[in-house]
Structure 1
Amino acid sequence: MPLTAPATTTTTTTTTTTDRYLARMRAALAHIDAHLENALDVDGLAQVAAFSKYHFHRQFTLLFGMNVGRYVQLLRLKRAAHQLAYRDAARITDIALACGYEAPEAFARAFRKQAGQSPSDFRAAPQWGTWATDLQALRALRSEHMPAQPQTHTVEIVEREDVPVAAIEHHGNPARLGETIRTFIAWRREHRLPPSVSATYNIVYNSPDDVAPDDFRMDICAATLAPIAPNAAGVIAKTLAGGRYAVLRHTGSDDTLGQSVATLYAEWLPASGEEPRDAPLLFQRVRFYPDVPEHEVITDILLPLK
Protein backbone atom coordinates (compact mmCIF):
# COMPACT_ATOMS: atom_id res chain seq x y z
CA MET A 1 0.00 0.00 0.00
CA PRO A 2 2.69 2.59 0.85
CA LEU A 3 4.35 1.92 -2.49
CA THR A 4 1.33 3.00 -4.56
CA ALA A 5 0.43 6.18 -2.69
CA PRO A 6 3.23 8.39 -4.08
CA ALA A 7 2.33 7.49 -7.68
CA THR A 8 -1.27 8.58 -7.14
CA THR A 9 -0.14 11.82 -5.55
CA THR A 10 2.26 12.53 -8.41
CA THR A 11 -0.41 11.91 -11.03
CA THR A 12 -2.85 14.19 -9.26
CA THR A 13 -0.24 16.91 -8.91
CA THR A 14 0.76 16.65 -12.56
CA THR A 15 -2.83 16.82 -13.73
CA THR A 16 -3.51 19.84 -11.58
CA THR A 17 -0.37 21.57 -12.86
CA THR A 18 -1.37 20.86 -16.46
CA ASP A 19 -4.88 22.16 -15.84
CA ARG A 20 -3.47 25.39 -14.43
CA TYR A 21 -1.19 25.77 -17.44
CA LEU A 22 -4.08 25.23 -19.87
CA ALA A 23 -6.27 27.65 -17.94
CA ARG A 24 -3.65 30.38 -18.33
CA MET A 25 -3.34 29.77 -22.07
CA ARG A 26 -7.12 29.67 -22.47
CA ALA A 27 -7.34 32.99 -20.64
CA ALA A 28 -5.44 34.44 -23.59
CA LEU A 29 -8.07 33.02 -25.98
CA ALA A 30 -10.87 34.55 -23.90
CA HIS A 31 -9.06 37.91 -23.89
CA ILE A 32 -8.72 37.81 -27.67
CA ASP A 33 -12.46 37.13 -28.02
CA ALA A 34 -13.33 40.04 -25.75
CA HIS A 35 -10.95 42.49 -27.44
CA LEU A 36 -10.98 41.40 -31.08
CA GLU A 37 -11.59 44.94 -32.32
CA ASN A 38 -8.72 46.35 -30.26
CA ALA A 39 -4.97 46.22 -30.79
CA LEU A 40 -3.64 42.82 -29.73
CA ASP A 41 0.03 42.01 -29.42
CA VAL A 42 2.06 39.11 -28.10
CA ASP A 43 3.46 41.09 -25.16
CA GLY A 44 -0.01 42.00 -23.89
CA LEU A 45 -1.37 38.48 -24.35
CA ALA A 46 1.66 37.05 -22.56
CA GLN A 47 0.80 39.28 -19.59
CA VAL A 48 -2.81 38.03 -19.64
CA ALA A 49 -1.58 34.44 -19.50
CA ALA A 50 1.15 35.32 -16.98
CA PHE A 51 3.91 33.89 -19.16
CA SER A 52 7.20 35.38 -20.31
CA LYS A 53 6.86 37.38 -23.51
CA TYR A 54 10.01 35.64 -24.76
CA HIS A 55 8.36 32.23 -24.75
CA PHE A 56 4.62 32.85 -25.03
CA HIS A 57 4.50 32.87 -28.83
CA ARG A 58 6.14 29.44 -29.07
CA GLN A 59 3.92 28.08 -26.28
CA PHE A 60 0.77 29.34 -28.02
CA THR A 61 1.77 27.87 -31.39
CA LEU A 62 2.69 24.45 -30.03
CA LEU A 63 -0.45 24.13 -27.92
CA PHE A 64 -3.03 25.49 -30.37
CA GLY A 65 -1.49 24.55 -33.71
CA MET A 66 -1.27 28.09 -35.11
CA ASN A 67 0.56 31.22 -34.08
CA VAL A 68 -1.05 34.15 -32.30
CA GLY A 69 -1.12 36.45 -35.29
CA ARG A 70 -2.73 33.84 -37.53
CA TYR A 71 -5.35 32.99 -34.89
CA VAL A 72 -6.33 36.64 -34.43
CA GLN A 73 -6.38 37.21 -38.20
CA LEU A 74 -8.65 34.20 -38.83
CA LEU A 75 -11.10 35.30 -36.13
CA ARG A 76 -11.25 38.82 -37.56
CA LEU A 77 -11.63 37.71 -41.17
CA LYS A 78 -14.29 35.16 -40.18
CA ARG A 79 -16.36 37.86 -38.51
CA ALA A 80 -15.78 40.16 -41.48
CA ALA A 81 -17.00 37.41 -43.81
CA HIS A 82 -20.20 36.98 -41.78
CA GLN A 83 -20.78 40.73 -41.82
CA LEU A 84 -20.26 40.85 -45.58
CA ALA A 85 -22.48 37.85 -46.23
CA TYR A 86 -25.35 38.60 -43.85
CA ARG A 87 -25.28 42.30 -42.99
CA ASP A 88 -25.76 44.47 -46.08
CA ALA A 89 -25.85 47.67 -44.01
CA ALA A 90 -22.28 47.17 -42.74
CA ARG A 91 -19.90 49.29 -44.81
CA ILE A 92 -16.73 47.61 -46.02
CA THR A 93 -14.66 50.49 -44.65
CA ASP A 94 -16.14 49.99 -41.17
CA ILE A 95 -15.57 46.24 -41.40
CA ALA A 96 -11.94 46.88 -42.36
CA LEU A 97 -11.41 49.18 -39.37
CA ALA A 98 -12.98 46.63 -37.01
CA CYS A 99 -10.51 44.06 -38.35
CA GLY A 100 -7.59 46.30 -37.42
CA TYR A 101 -6.83 47.59 -40.92
CA GLU A 102 -6.34 51.33 -41.28
CA ALA A 103 -7.18 51.30 -45.00
CA PRO A 104 -9.79 49.32 -46.97
CA GLU A 105 -7.13 48.44 -49.55
CA ALA A 106 -5.02 46.53 -47.01
CA PHE A 107 -8.12 44.75 -45.74
CA ALA A 108 -9.15 43.87 -49.29
CA ARG A 109 -5.72 42.34 -50.00
CA ALA A 110 -5.80 40.25 -46.82
CA PHE A 111 -9.39 39.16 -47.38
CA ARG A 112 -8.76 38.18 -51.00
CA LYS A 113 -5.67 36.19 -50.00
CA GLN A 114 -7.73 34.29 -47.42
CA ALA A 115 -11.10 33.89 -49.13
CA GLY A 116 -10.13 33.98 -52.79
CA GLN A 117 -12.59 36.83 -53.42
CA SER A 118 -12.58 40.57 -52.91
CA PRO A 119 -14.83 41.79 -50.08
CA SER A 120 -17.35 43.17 -52.59
CA ASP A 121 -17.38 39.93 -54.62
CA PHE A 122 -17.78 37.88 -51.45
CA ARG A 123 -20.69 40.08 -50.38
CA ALA A 124 -22.39 39.49 -53.74
CA ALA A 125 -21.82 35.71 -53.83
CA PRO A 126 -19.94 34.20 -50.88
CA GLN A 127 -17.72 31.19 -51.61
CA TRP A 128 -16.93 29.61 -48.26
CA GLY A 129 -15.35 26.49 -49.70
CA THR A 130 -12.10 28.23 -50.59
CA TRP A 131 -11.16 28.54 -46.92
CA ALA A 132 -13.23 25.73 -45.41
CA THR A 133 -10.08 23.94 -44.17
CA ASP A 134 -8.91 27.01 -42.24
CA LEU A 135 -12.36 27.57 -40.75
CA GLN A 136 -12.56 23.92 -39.70
CA ALA A 137 -9.17 24.18 -37.98
CA LEU A 138 -10.43 27.26 -36.15
CA ARG A 139 -13.64 25.49 -35.10
CA ALA A 140 -11.70 22.47 -33.84
CA LEU A 141 -9.31 24.62 -31.81
CA ARG A 142 -12.11 26.60 -30.19
CA SER A 143 -14.28 23.55 -29.57
CA GLU A 144 -11.44 21.84 -27.71
CA HIS A 145 -10.03 24.79 -25.81
CA MET A 146 -13.07 27.04 -25.30
CA PRO A 147 -15.69 24.42 -24.43
CA ALA A 148 -19.24 25.27 -23.45
CA GLN A 149 -19.86 25.10 -19.73
CA PRO A 150 -23.60 24.57 -19.44
CA GLN A 151 -25.04 24.30 -15.95
CA THR A 152 -27.76 21.66 -15.76
CA HIS A 153 -29.19 23.26 -12.61
CA THR A 154 -30.15 26.25 -14.76
CA VAL A 155 -32.49 24.18 -16.94
CA GLU A 156 -36.06 25.48 -16.68
CA ILE A 157 -39.24 23.67 -17.59
CA VAL A 158 -41.68 26.09 -19.17
CA GLU A 159 -45.12 25.94 -20.74
CA ARG A 160 -45.17 27.59 -24.15
CA GLU A 161 -47.98 28.65 -26.47
CA ASP A 162 -48.06 27.80 -30.17
CA VAL A 163 -45.87 30.16 -32.20
CA PRO A 164 -46.85 30.83 -35.84
CA VAL A 165 -43.72 31.33 -37.94
CA ALA A 166 -42.49 32.00 -41.43
CA ALA A 167 -40.04 29.20 -42.22
CA ILE A 168 -37.50 28.33 -44.87
CA GLU A 169 -36.47 24.69 -45.08
CA HIS A 170 -32.85 23.72 -45.59
CA HIS A 171 -32.38 20.19 -46.92
CA GLY A 172 -28.90 18.97 -47.77
CA ASN A 173 -25.26 19.74 -47.19
CA PRO A 174 -24.75 22.01 -44.15
CA ALA A 175 -21.90 23.64 -46.06
CA ARG A 176 -24.62 25.32 -48.16
CA LEU A 177 -26.62 26.54 -45.18
CA GLY A 178 -25.25 30.04 -45.71
CA GLU A 179 -27.14 30.29 -49.00
CA THR A 180 -30.40 29.47 -47.24
CA ILE A 181 -29.66 31.99 -44.50
CA ARG A 182 -29.03 34.74 -47.06
CA THR A 183 -32.28 33.95 -48.86
CA PHE A 184 -34.23 34.07 -45.61
CA ILE A 185 -32.58 37.32 -44.46
CA ALA A 186 -33.55 38.96 -47.75
CA TRP A 187 -37.15 37.74 -47.36
CA ARG A 188 -37.31 39.02 -43.78
CA ARG A 189 -35.95 42.39 -44.84
CA GLU A 190 -38.52 42.65 -47.62
CA HIS A 191 -41.35 41.86 -45.17
CA ARG A 192 -39.98 44.05 -42.36
CA LEU A 193 -39.46 41.21 -39.92
CA PRO A 194 -36.01 41.89 -38.42
CA PRO A 195 -34.97 39.89 -35.34
CA SER A 196 -35.66 42.94 -33.17
CA VAL A 197 -39.42 42.57 -33.80
CA SER A 198 -39.68 38.89 -34.80
CA ALA A 199 -38.16 36.11 -32.69
CA THR A 200 -35.81 33.81 -34.60
CA TYR A 201 -35.94 30.02 -34.28
CA ASN A 202 -34.35 26.95 -35.80
CA ILE A 203 -36.23 23.66 -36.05
CA VAL A 204 -33.44 21.11 -35.62
CA TYR A 205 -34.37 17.78 -37.16
CA ASN A 206 -30.91 16.23 -36.88
CA SER A 207 -27.26 17.05 -36.31
CA PRO A 208 -24.75 17.40 -39.16
CA ASP A 209 -22.42 15.20 -37.08
CA ASP A 210 -24.94 12.33 -37.06
CA VAL A 211 -26.18 12.14 -40.65
CA ALA A 212 -24.81 12.16 -44.17
CA PRO A 213 -24.57 15.69 -45.62
CA ASP A 214 -27.48 15.11 -48.01
CA ASP A 215 -29.71 14.06 -45.09
CA PHE A 216 -29.17 17.17 -42.98
CA ARG A 217 -32.36 19.14 -42.27
CA MET A 218 -33.01 22.39 -40.42
CA ASP A 219 -35.65 25.10 -40.72
CA ILE A 220 -34.94 28.78 -40.12
CA CYS A 221 -37.99 30.60 -38.76
CA ALA A 222 -39.24 34.04 -37.84
CA ALA A 223 -42.27 34.50 -35.60
CA THR A 224 -45.14 36.27 -37.35
CA LEU A 225 -48.91 36.33 -37.31
CA ALA A 226 -49.09 37.57 -40.90
CA PRO A 227 -50.20 35.18 -43.64
CA ILE A 228 -47.38 33.94 -45.87
CA ALA A 229 -48.12 34.47 -49.55
CA PRO A 230 -46.49 32.19 -52.16
CA ASN A 231 -43.00 33.50 -52.85
CA ALA A 232 -39.86 32.77 -54.86
CA ALA A 233 -37.76 32.37 -51.69
CA GLY A 234 -39.69 29.25 -50.68
CA VAL A 235 -40.75 30.66 -47.32
CA ILE A 236 -43.84 28.91 -45.93
CA ALA A 237 -46.08 29.12 -42.88
CA LYS A 238 -45.51 26.71 -40.00
CA THR A 239 -46.39 26.54 -36.31
CA LEU A 240 -44.01 25.75 -33.47
CA ALA A 241 -46.11 23.56 -31.22
CA GLY A 242 -46.76 24.76 -27.70
CA GLY A 243 -46.48 22.60 -24.61
CA ARG A 244 -43.84 21.78 -22.05
CA TYR A 245 -40.20 22.48 -22.89
CA ALA A 246 -36.92 22.13 -21.03
CA VAL A 247 -34.87 25.25 -21.73
CA LEU A 248 -31.08 25.46 -21.43
CA ARG A 249 -29.34 28.73 -22.31
CA HIS A 250 -26.13 28.41 -24.32
CA THR A 251 -23.77 31.39 -24.27
CA GLY A 252 -21.00 31.39 -26.82
CA SER A 253 -20.14 30.22 -30.30
CA ASP A 254 -22.15 27.76 -32.36
CA ASP A 255 -18.89 25.79 -32.48
CA THR A 256 -19.70 24.55 -28.97
CA LEU A 257 -23.51 24.53 -29.21
CA GLY A 258 -23.47 20.75 -29.70
CA GLN A 259 -21.75 20.36 -26.33
CA SER A 260 -24.63 22.12 -24.57
CA VAL A 261 -27.16 19.97 -26.45
CA ALA A 262 -25.25 16.86 -25.38
CA THR A 263 -25.29 18.00 -21.76
CA LEU A 264 -29.06 18.50 -21.89
CA TYR A 265 -29.62 14.99 -23.27
CA ALA A 266 -26.90 13.05 -21.46
CA GLU A 267 -26.91 14.68 -18.02
CA TRP A 268 -30.08 16.64 -17.35
CA LEU A 269 -32.65 14.40 -19.07
CA PRO A 270 -31.73 11.07 -17.36
CA ALA A 271 -31.70 12.74 -13.93
CA SER A 272 -34.91 14.71 -14.47
CA GLY A 273 -37.40 11.87 -14.78
CA GLU A 274 -38.81 13.63 -17.85
CA GLU A 275 -39.51 12.09 -21.27
CA PRO A 276 -38.93 13.91 -24.57
CA ARG A 277 -41.94 14.51 -26.78
CA ASP A 278 -42.06 13.22 -30.35
CA ALA A 279 -41.12 16.60 -31.81
CA PRO A 280 -37.84 18.13 -33.00
CA LEU A 281 -35.47 20.20 -30.90
CA LEU A 282 -35.74 23.99 -31.20
CA PHE A 283 -33.12 26.73 -30.96
CA GLN A 284 -34.24 30.25 -30.18
CA ARG A 285 -31.63 32.75 -31.29
CA VAL A 286 -31.47 35.56 -28.74
CA ARG A 287 -28.21 37.40 -29.56
CA PHE A 288 -26.60 37.03 -32.96
CA TYR A 289 -23.11 36.69 -34.39
CA PRO A 290 -21.68 38.76 -36.08
CA ASP A 291 -23.69 41.56 -34.40
CA VAL A 292 -21.97 40.61 -31.15
CA PRO A 293 -18.66 38.76 -30.61
CA GLU A 294 -18.90 34.97 -30.56
CA HIS A 295 -18.49 34.72 -26.80
CA GLU A 296 -21.56 36.97 -26.32
CA VAL A 297 -23.90 35.00 -28.61
CA ILE A 298 -26.98 33.60 -26.80
CA THR A 299 -29.02 30.62 -27.96
CA ASP A 300 -31.82 29.00 -25.95
CA ILE A 301 -32.06 25.24 -26.51
CA LEU A 302 -35.67 24.05 -26.23
CA LEU A 303 -36.27 20.33 -25.69
CA PRO A 304 -39.97 19.35 -26.09
CA LEU A 305 -41.28 17.28 -23.19
CA LYS A 306 -44.33 15.06 -22.74
Structure 2
Amino acid sequence: MQRVVAHIDGNLDGDLGLEALSAVAAFSACHFHRQFRAIFGLSLHRYVQLVRMKRASWCLAYRNDVSVIEIALDAGYEAPDSFARAFRQRIGQAPKAFREEPDWSAWAAAMEPLAEVRSQIMTQNFSIDDVTVREEIDIPVAFMSHRGDPERLGETIRQFIAWRKASGVRAATNATYTIFHTDPDSVAAEDYRIDLAAATKRAITPADEGMEAGLIPAGRCAVLRIIGQSDNLRPAAEFLYGQWLPASGEEPREFPLYARRVSFFPDVPEHEAITDLYLPLK
Protein backbone atom coordinates (compact mmCIF):
# COMPACT_ATOMS: atom_id res chain seq x y z
CA MET A 1 0.00 0.00 0.00
CA GLN A 2 2.91 2.37 0.67
CA ARG A 3 4.16 1.61 -2.84
CA VAL A 4 0.73 2.35 -4.30
CA VAL A 5 0.41 5.64 -2.43
CA ALA A 6 3.89 6.73 -3.58
CA HIS A 7 2.99 5.75 -7.14
CA ILE A 8 -0.21 7.82 -7.00
CA ASP A 9 1.67 10.87 -5.71
CA GLY A 10 4.31 10.57 -8.41
CA ASN A 11 1.90 9.98 -11.29
CA LEU A 12 -1.05 12.28 -10.70
CA ASP A 13 -1.31 13.05 -14.40
CA GLY A 14 -0.99 9.39 -15.43
CA ASP A 15 -3.17 6.27 -15.42
CA LEU A 16 -4.43 5.78 -11.87
CA GLY A 17 -7.22 3.37 -12.66
CA LEU A 18 -7.96 0.18 -10.75
CA GLU A 19 -6.10 -2.11 -13.14
CA ALA A 20 -2.96 0.01 -13.17
CA LEU A 21 -2.81 0.41 -9.40
CA SER A 22 -3.63 -3.19 -8.59
CA ALA A 23 -0.66 -4.13 -10.78
CA VAL A 24 1.54 -1.79 -8.71
CA ALA A 25 0.25 -3.53 -5.57
CA ALA A 26 0.67 -6.99 -7.15
CA PHE A 27 -2.90 -7.88 -6.11
CA SER A 28 -5.84 -8.91 -8.19
CA ALA A 29 -8.06 -5.94 -9.01
CA CYS A 30 -10.96 -7.33 -6.98
CA HIS A 31 -8.94 -7.97 -3.83
CA PHE A 32 -6.94 -4.77 -4.14
CA HIS A 33 -10.02 -2.53 -4.32
CA ARG A 34 -11.61 -4.20 -1.28
CA GLN A 35 -8.39 -4.14 0.73
CA PHE A 36 -7.73 -0.49 -0.07
CA ARG A 37 -11.19 0.49 1.19
CA ALA A 38 -10.86 -1.73 4.27
CA ILE A 39 -7.49 -0.23 5.26
CA PHE A 40 -8.13 3.43 4.48
CA GLY A 41 -11.90 3.80 4.74
CA LEU A 42 -12.06 5.43 1.28
CA SER A 43 -12.68 3.97 -2.12
CA LEU A 44 -9.70 4.02 -4.45
CA HIS A 45 -11.55 6.37 -6.82
CA ARG A 46 -12.29 8.91 -4.07
CA TYR A 47 -8.75 8.76 -2.70
CA VAL A 48 -7.23 9.43 -6.13
CA GLN A 49 -9.72 12.21 -6.78
CA LEU A 50 -8.95 13.91 -3.45
CA VAL A 51 -5.18 13.72 -4.02
CA ARG A 52 -5.62 15.26 -7.46
CA MET A 53 -7.99 17.89 -6.09
CA LYS A 54 -5.50 18.84 -3.37
CA ARG A 55 -2.77 19.48 -5.94
CA ALA A 56 -5.25 21.30 -8.19
CA SER A 57 -6.42 23.53 -5.34
CA TRP A 58 -2.81 24.34 -4.38
CA CYS A 59 -2.07 25.32 -7.97
CA LEU A 60 -5.23 27.40 -8.23
CA ALA A 61 -4.48 29.25 -5.01
CA TYR A 62 -0.70 29.65 -5.27
CA ARG A 63 0.30 29.25 -8.93
CA ASN A 64 -1.42 32.03 -10.88
CA ASP A 65 0.88 31.43 -13.84
CA VAL A 66 -0.78 28.03 -14.46
CA SER A 67 -4.10 28.19 -16.32
CA VAL A 68 -7.25 26.43 -15.15
CA ILE A 69 -7.17 24.32 -18.33
CA GLU A 70 -3.63 23.13 -17.54
CA ILE A 71 -4.65 22.33 -13.97
CA ALA A 72 -7.69 20.38 -15.22
CA LEU A 73 -5.55 18.32 -17.61
CA ASP A 74 -2.96 17.64 -14.89
CA ALA A 75 -5.79 16.44 -12.64
CA GLY A 76 -6.72 13.80 -15.21
CA TYR A 77 -9.73 15.53 -16.78
CA GLU A 78 -10.05 15.81 -20.54
CA ALA A 79 -12.36 18.84 -20.40
CA PRO A 80 -12.42 21.88 -18.10
CA ASP A 81 -16.18 21.51 -17.61
CA SER A 82 -15.90 18.04 -16.10
CA PHE A 83 -13.05 19.24 -13.86
CA ALA A 84 -15.13 22.23 -12.75
CA ARG A 85 -18.09 20.00 -11.84
CA ALA A 86 -15.91 17.59 -9.87
CA PHE A 87 -14.05 20.43 -8.15
CA ARG A 88 -17.28 22.14 -7.13
CA GLN A 89 -18.70 18.84 -5.90
CA ARG A 90 -15.70 18.15 -3.65
CA ILE A 91 -14.52 21.64 -2.66
CA GLY A 92 -17.77 23.61 -2.82
CA GLN A 93 -16.52 26.32 -5.20
CA ALA A 94 -15.93 26.54 -8.92
CA PRO A 95 -12.19 26.53 -9.79
CA LYS A 96 -12.18 30.18 -10.89
CA ALA A 97 -14.02 31.25 -7.74
CA PHE A 98 -11.56 29.31 -5.60
CA ARG A 99 -8.64 30.94 -7.39
CA GLU A 100 -10.06 34.41 -6.75
CA GLU A 101 -11.11 33.88 -3.12
CA PRO A 102 -10.61 30.41 -1.61
CA ASP A 103 -12.99 29.29 1.12
CA TRP A 104 -10.34 27.63 3.28
CA SER A 105 -12.81 26.36 5.89
CA ALA A 106 -14.77 24.45 3.23
CA TRP A 107 -11.51 23.26 1.68
CA ALA A 108 -10.25 21.88 5.02
CA ALA A 109 -13.55 20.05 5.58
CA ALA A 110 -13.40 18.54 2.08
CA MET A 111 -9.80 17.41 2.58
CA GLU A 112 -10.28 15.99 6.07
CA PRO A 113 -10.80 12.37 4.90
CA LEU A 114 -7.58 12.60 2.87
CA ALA A 115 -5.70 14.14 5.80
CA GLU A 116 -6.83 11.29 8.06
CA VAL A 117 -5.69 8.63 5.59
CA ARG A 118 -2.34 10.28 4.94
CA SER A 119 -1.68 10.74 8.66
CA GLN A 120 -1.80 6.93 8.87
CA ILE A 121 0.46 6.16 5.93
CA MET A 122 2.82 9.14 5.70
CA THR A 123 3.79 9.49 9.37
CA GLN A 124 7.56 9.29 9.73
CA ASN A 125 8.93 7.36 12.69
CA PHE A 126 11.79 9.25 14.32
CA SER A 127 14.72 8.05 16.41
CA ILE A 128 17.32 9.90 18.48
CA ASP A 129 19.87 9.26 15.73
CA ASP A 130 17.76 11.24 13.24
CA VAL A 131 18.60 14.48 15.05
CA THR A 132 21.83 16.36 14.40
CA VAL A 133 23.16 19.32 16.38
CA ARG A 134 24.54 22.04 14.13
CA GLU A 135 26.00 25.50 14.52
CA GLU A 136 23.94 27.85 12.36
CA ILE A 137 24.95 31.29 11.07
CA ASP A 138 22.83 34.45 11.15
CA ILE A 139 20.14 34.38 8.44
CA PRO A 140 18.73 37.78 7.43
CA VAL A 141 15.13 37.35 6.30
CA ALA A 142 12.13 39.24 5.06
CA PHE A 143 9.01 37.96 6.77
CA MET A 144 5.24 38.30 6.78
CA SER A 145 3.40 37.57 10.02
CA HIS A 146 0.12 35.73 10.12
CA ARG A 147 -1.85 36.65 13.23
CA GLY A 148 -5.24 35.24 14.02
CA ASP A 149 -7.31 32.23 13.04
CA PRO A 150 -5.10 29.42 11.60
CA GLU A 151 -7.84 28.72 9.04
CA ARG A 152 -6.96 32.03 7.37
CA LEU A 153 -3.29 31.12 6.95
CA GLY A 154 -3.86 30.23 3.29
CA GLU A 155 -4.63 33.85 2.46
CA THR A 156 -1.40 35.01 4.14
CA ILE A 157 0.51 32.42 2.12
CA ARG A 158 -1.03 33.84 -1.07
CA GLN A 159 0.09 37.35 -0.12
CA PHE A 160 3.58 36.12 0.74
CA ILE A 161 3.94 34.29 -2.58
CA ALA A 162 2.68 37.37 -4.45
CA TRP A 163 5.35 39.47 -2.72
CA ARG A 164 8.07 36.97 -3.60
CA LYS A 165 7.10 37.04 -7.26
CA ALA A 166 6.90 40.83 -7.37
CA SER A 167 10.18 41.36 -5.51
CA GLY A 168 12.19 38.63 -7.22
CA VAL A 169 12.93 36.89 -3.90
CA ARG A 170 12.01 33.51 -5.32
CA ALA A 171 12.03 30.16 -3.57
CA ALA A 172 14.48 28.70 -6.10
CA THR A 173 17.22 31.10 -4.98
CA ASN A 174 16.16 32.27 -1.50
CA ALA A 175 15.50 29.71 1.23
CA THR A 176 11.98 29.55 2.66
CA TYR A 177 11.37 29.44 6.41
CA THR A 178 8.41 29.15 8.75
CA ILE A 179 8.79 30.46 12.30
CA PHE A 180 6.33 29.03 14.85
CA HIS A 181 5.67 31.61 17.57
CA THR A 182 2.65 29.87 19.08
CA ASP A 183 1.02 26.45 19.20
CA PRO A 184 -2.46 26.67 17.62
CA ASP A 185 -3.75 24.08 20.09
CA SER A 186 -2.52 26.07 23.10
CA VAL A 187 -3.71 29.60 22.31
CA ALA A 188 -6.95 31.24 21.29
CA ALA A 189 -7.37 31.65 17.53
CA GLU A 190 -6.91 35.41 17.77
CA ASP A 191 -3.53 34.93 19.52
CA TYR A 192 -2.08 32.54 16.96
CA ARG A 193 1.09 33.78 15.22
CA ILE A 194 3.31 32.26 12.55
CA ASP A 195 5.87 34.01 10.33
CA LEU A 196 6.51 33.19 6.66
CA ALA A 197 10.08 34.15 5.79
CA ALA A 198 12.51 34.23 2.89
CA ALA A 199 16.27 34.48 3.30
CA THR A 200 17.38 37.79 1.81
CA LYS A 201 19.51 40.83 2.54
CA ARG A 202 17.24 42.96 0.37
CA ALA A 203 16.13 46.19 2.04
CA ILE A 204 12.45 46.31 2.98
CA THR A 205 10.71 49.50 1.87
CA PRO A 206 7.17 50.86 2.31
CA ALA A 207 6.37 49.35 -1.09
CA ASP A 208 6.84 45.87 0.44
CA GLU A 209 3.40 45.89 2.01
CA GLY A 210 3.02 43.50 4.93
CA MET A 211 6.72 42.60 4.99
CA GLU A 212 9.28 43.21 7.73
CA ALA A 213 13.04 42.72 7.95
CA GLY A 214 14.17 40.15 10.47
CA LEU A 215 16.91 37.76 11.52
CA ILE A 216 17.07 34.08 12.37
CA PRO A 217 19.97 34.32 14.84
CA ALA A 218 23.13 32.25 14.75
CA GLY A 219 23.54 29.50 17.31
CA ARG A 220 23.35 25.81 17.99
CA CYS A 221 20.24 23.99 16.76
CA ALA A 222 18.89 20.47 16.90
CA VAL A 223 17.80 19.65 13.35
CA LEU A 224 15.30 16.97 12.36
CA ARG A 225 14.56 16.23 8.71
CA ILE A 226 10.97 15.37 7.77
CA ILE A 227 10.35 13.65 4.45
CA GLY A 228 6.79 13.64 3.19
CA GLN A 229 3.78 15.83 3.80
CA SER A 230 4.50 18.93 5.86
CA ASP A 231 0.97 20.19 6.51
CA ASN A 232 1.27 18.98 10.10
CA LEU A 233 4.69 19.15 11.77
CA ARG A 234 3.28 18.47 15.24
CA PRO A 235 4.53 14.83 15.47
CA ALA A 236 8.07 15.99 14.63
CA ALA A 237 7.91 18.89 17.10
CA GLU A 238 6.53 16.64 19.84
CA PHE A 239 9.37 14.17 19.21
CA LEU A 240 12.00 16.91 19.53
CA TYR A 241 10.54 18.36 22.72
CA GLY A 242 9.18 15.19 24.32
CA GLN A 243 11.84 12.59 23.50
CA TRP A 244 15.01 14.03 22.04
CA LEU A 245 15.39 17.06 24.34
CA PRO A 246 15.10 15.18 27.67
CA ALA A 247 17.44 12.43 26.43
CA SER A 248 20.02 14.92 25.12
CA GLY A 249 20.52 16.96 28.26
CA GLU A 250 20.31 20.11 26.12
CA GLU A 251 18.26 23.24 26.89
CA PRO A 252 16.30 25.34 24.39
CA ARG A 253 17.22 29.00 23.94
CA GLU A 254 14.92 31.95 23.56
CA PHE A 255 14.02 31.66 19.89
CA PRO A 256 10.99 29.84 18.49
CA LEU A 257 10.99 26.52 16.72
CA TYR A 258 11.38 27.10 12.98
CA ALA A 259 11.45 25.12 9.76
CA ARG A 260 13.21 25.39 6.45
CA ARG A 261 11.14 24.22 3.50
CA VAL A 262 13.85 22.52 1.45
CA SER A 263 11.43 21.28 -1.22
CA PHE A 264 7.68 21.48 -1.06
CA PHE A 265 4.41 20.37 -2.59
CA PRO A 266 3.19 20.90 -5.30
CA ASP A 267 6.64 21.58 -6.78
CA VAL A 268 7.50 17.97 -5.88
CA PRO A 269 5.18 15.02 -5.14
CA GLU A 270 3.97 15.25 -1.56
CA HIS A 271 5.80 12.13 -0.39
CA GLU A 272 9.09 13.66 -1.64
CA ALA A 273 8.73 17.02 0.15
CA ILE A 274 11.62 17.80 2.52
CA THR A 275 11.39 19.98 5.63
CA ASP A 276 14.14 20.60 8.19
CA LEU A 277 12.80 21.43 11.66
CA TYR A 278 15.12 23.48 13.91
CA LEU A 279 15.03 23.59 17.71
CA PRO A 280 17.37 26.40 18.86
CA LEU A 281 19.64 25.35 21.76
CA LYS A 282 21.68 27.21 24.37
User: Scaled by the length of structure 2, what TM-score is found?
Assistant: 0.93
How far did 1:105 drift? Answer: 2.2
What is the 5 A alignment of 1:66-105?
A: 66-105=42-81
- 2:246 corresponds to 1:270: yes
Higher deviation after alignment, 53-62 or 162-171: 53-62
**What residue is the counterpart of 1:148 in the other structure?**
124
- Percentage of matched positions with identical amino acids: 50
**What residue is the counterpart of 1:286 in the other structure?**
262
> Once the two structures are superposed, what CA deviation does each residue of 1:105-150 show, in whole Å capped at 9, x if it has no partner?
2212211222232222211111222232221221121112321233
Q: Is the 8 A contact 2:263 2:274 kept in 1?
A: yes
How far did 1:69 drift? Answer: 0.3
- 2:17 corresponds to 1:54: no
Matched pairs, number: 282
Seen in structure 2, the aligned counterparts of structure 1 residues 120 and 77 have a Cα distance that, compared at 3 Å, is: same
In structure 2, the residue corresponding to 1:220 is in which secondary structure? strand
How far did 1:176 drift? Answer: 0.4
What is the 5 A alignment of 1:288-303?
A: 288-303=264-279
Gaps of 5+ in 2: none
- 2:126 corresponds to 1:189: no
**Match among 80, 84, 87 for residue 108 of structure 1:** 84
State how far apart, in whole Å, the 2-side matches of 1:114 and 1:209 are. 27
**What residue is the counterpart of 1:12 in the other structure?**
none
In structure 1, the residue corresponding to 2:30 is in which secondary structure? coil
Indicate the structure (1 or 2) with the bigger Cα radius of gyration. Answer: 1
How far did 1:215 drift? Answer: 2.5
Q: Which amino acid aligns with 1:110?
A: A
**What residue is the counterpart of 1:157 in the other structure?**
133
How far did 1:51 drift? Answer: 3.1
Q: Tell me how large the CA RMSD over aligned residues is.
A: 1.8
Gaps of 5+ in 1: 1-24
**What residue is the counterpart of 2:179 in the other structure?**
203
**What residue is the counterpart of 1:40 in the other structure?**
16
**What residue is the counterpart of 2:4 in the other structure?**
28
Q: Is the 8 A contact 1:247 1:301 kept in 2?
A: yes
How far did 1:194 drift? Answer: 0.6
Q: Which amino acid aligns with 2:159?
A: T
- 2:220 corresponds to 1:251: no
In structure 2, the residue corresponding to 1:62 is in which secondary structure? helix
Q: Is the 8 A contact 1:152 1:263 kept in 2?
A: no
How far did 1:79 drift? Answer: 0.6
State how far apart, in whole Å, the 1-side matches of 2:241 and 2:14 are. 38
In structure 1, the residue corresponding to 2:134 is in which secondary structure? strand
Q: Is the 8 A contact 2:53 2:87 kept in 1?
A: yes
Q: Which amino acid aligns with 1:137?
A: P
How far did 1:209 drift? Answer: 3.2
Q: Is the 8 A contact 2:177 2:260 kept in 1?
A: yes
Higher deviation after alignment, 239-248 or 152-161: 152-161
**What residue is the counterpart of 1:16 in the other structure?**
none
